[in-house]
A = this chain, B = another copy of it.
Amino acid sequence: MALYVHKYGGTSMGSTERIRNVARRVAKWVRAGHQVVVVPSAMSGETNRLLGLAKEIWPGKAGDAYHRELDQLAATGEQASSALLAIALQAEGLQAVSFTGWQVPVRTDSSYTKARIESIDDQHVRAELDAGKVVIVTGFQGIDAGNNITTLGRGGSDTSAVAIAAAIRAHECLIYTDVDGVYTTDPRVVPEARRLNTLSFEEMLEMASLGSKVLQIRSVEFAGKYKVPLRVLSSFTPWDIDIEEEAKSGTLITLEEDEQMEKAIVSGIAFSRDEAKISILGVPDHPGVAYRILGAVADARVDVDVIIQNVSKDGKTDFSFTVPRADLERASLLLRDKVLPELGTDQLVTDAKIAKVSIVGIGMRSQVGVASTMFRTLSEEGINIKMISTSEIKTSVVIDEKYVELAVRALHRAFGLDQ
């Protein structure tokens, strides 16, 4: 007997028939002797419907008072789906009770629409589990210190599930989703991509931040911080498949010390087309310049990813960095208006047609030559590298967008991921 958290996405909760299937699956786990806390998303489409109503009333409005009401509104989606799932579990003959964020309570900061969980009180959840009930906790939401409802942002239910698993010290947090695990790379690009049986938190974090959309990044950070084993598995298997089989399916994301961890040098290839490159040429090479450029960009709430500063020549240097493609125009305008005049240059070059390709693996820590294998492989394919960025367990390169599939396929093969 063990304690599990199950998390089901909006598609799994998309109709009353699907909710009944979720209940049947959960019932199978309970009948096998386990305790289960379920974290469901809102029924698919519901969050968009609610926010669409708000937009009809007041399009494009911002501000704290407005965002508070958006959260008050959006949180109803998970409250309703949680109550419906409780009813479906009762219909299966189980005892079940649903809790909203405030009933647990899940405490967050006050950043409406993108709040962060600060603490979870496990007392009520534990009491109901001990009373033999399945406990359903609304994903995506909490309350701040002033008892205002907050939401965690898109995909926040993953983070809710992991945070609750940490609070109640669950054996595993099972994320039921529309893919059957984490792959070595996107199977739509590389048909030979393999599903990974295990992956470390750090690797998953790099994979997620580099474009693999399986899990919300913060949920992985949370899982790593509190050492909650996370399993990504398919919600499309029949609910009555053998529980032993289900419990071993998908991809387990866990500590690297874990015995079952695969010790591949490179675990996966991630890529992202969402970035654009900005270069400022002829920048005076003296202290404070990087801050002046990147500080202005950060103040405008634009995330900067890869940053390169070339060697200096004649007291001048070239400074390049990547930003989300959607923010390129805004960042460029800001730099031209405010920053370039101060720096005494007007040479700003942008490139929206780039892509970032990364190799990720904890094996890279103890292996030399991994990066050079990457660079050689790309060179053999005639792909020019525009920027390079490295960390302990990943190496990223920025290349022309048109080469992204070619690069991913070549690297997947070069690191033996298709075997």
Residues of chain B with a CB closer than 8 A to A70's CB = 83, 87
- Choose one: B54, B83, B87; the contact of A84 (CB below 8 Å): B54
Interface residues of A in 84-141 (CB under 8 A from B): 84, 86-88, 90-91, 95-98, 100, 102-103
**Contact A20 B57, beta carbon cutoff 8 Å:** yes
Shortest distance from the beta carbon of A151 to any chain B beta carbon, whole Å: 12
A348 within 8 A of B: no
Residues of chain B with a CB closer than 8 A to A61's CB = 87, 90-91
Grouping DSSP codes into helix (H, G, I), strand (E, B) and loop, the A interface class, with mixed when no group exceeds half, is helix
**Contact A73 B65, beta carbon cutoff 8 Å:** no
**How far apart sit A174 and B92, CA to CA, in the bound complex (Å)?**
45
Which stretch, A74-82, A236-244, A293-301, A384-392, touches the partner chain B? A74-82
- Choose one: B65, B82, B95, B148; the contact of A72 (CB below 8 Å): B82
The residue on B at minimum CB distance from A82 is B72
**Contact A90 B76, beta carbon cutoff 8 Å:** no
**How far apart sit A257 and B79, CA to CA, in the bound complex (Å)?**
47
A68 within 8 A of B: yes
- Choose one: B19, B56, B65, B95; the contact of A57 (CB below 8 Å): B19
**Contact A16 B53, beta carbon cutoff 8 Å:** yes
**How far apart sit A70 and B97, CA to CA, in the bound complex (Å)?**
11
A347 within 8 A of B: no
Given A70-B83, A79-B72, A65 and B16 touching (CB < 8 A)?
no
Residues of chain B with a CB closer than 8 A to A16's CB = 53, 56-57
Given A80-B50, A80-B73, A82-B72, A87 and B66 touching (CB < 8 A)?
yes
The residue on B at minimum CB distance from A58 is B91
**Contact A103 B58, beta carbon cutoff 8 Å:** no
Residues of chain B with a CB closer than 8 A to A310's CB = none
Given A65-B97, A95-B65, A72 and B57 touching (CB < 8 A)?
no
State the copy count for this chain.
2
A260 within 8 A of B: no
A318 within 8 A of B: no
Residues of A within 8 Å of B, CB-based: how many? Answer: 41
- Choose one: B73, B82, B83, B87; the contact of A83 (CB below 8 Å): B73
**Contact A57 B97, beta carbon cutoff 8 Å:** no
Residues of chain B with a CB closer than 8 A to A75's CB = 79
Residues of chain B with a CB closer than 8 A to A63's CB = 90
**Contact A69 B90, beta carbon cutoff 8 Å:** yes
A345 within 8 A of B: no
Shortest distance from the beta carbon of A10 to any chain B beta carbon, whole Å: 15
Shortest distance from the beta carbon of A120 to any chain B beta carbon, whole Å: 16
**Contact A96 B65, beta carbon cutoff 8 Å:** yes
A147 within 8 A of B: yes
**Contact B147 A88, beta carbon cutoff 8 Å:** no
**Contact B57 A84, beta carbon cutoff 8 Å:** yes
**Contact A88 B19, beta carbon cutoff 8 Å:** no
**Contact A72 B53, beta carbon cutoff 8 Å:** no
**Contact A80 B76, beta carbon cutoff 8 Å:** yes
Identify which of A53, A87, A91 gathers the most chain B CB atoms within 10 Å of its CB.
Answer: A87
Shortest distance from the beta carbon of A27 to any chain B beta carbon, whole Å: 14
Given A65-B95, A98-B72, A87 and B57 touching (CB < 8 A)?
yes
Shortest distance from the beta carbon of A96 to any chain B beta carbon, whole Å: 7
Identify which of A19, A58, A61 gathers the most chain B CB atoms within 10 Å of its CB.
Answer: A58
**How far apart sit A147 and B83, CA to CA, in the bound complex (Å)?**
15
The 10 A-B pairs with the shortest beta carbon distances in the complex, nearest first, are A73-B83, A76-B76, A58-B91, A72-B83, A16-B56, A69-B86, A69-B83, A76-B80, A57-B88, A69-B87
Extra inter-chain contacts (7) besides given A65-B86, A72-B98, CB under 8 Å: A20-B57, A53-B84, A57-B84, A58-B90, A72-B79, A100-B149, A103-B147
Residues of A within 8 A of B (CB): 16, 19-20, 50, 53-54, 56-58, 61, 63, 65-66, 68-70, 72-73, 75-77, 79-80, 82-84, 86-88, 90-91, 95-98, 100, 102-103, 147-149
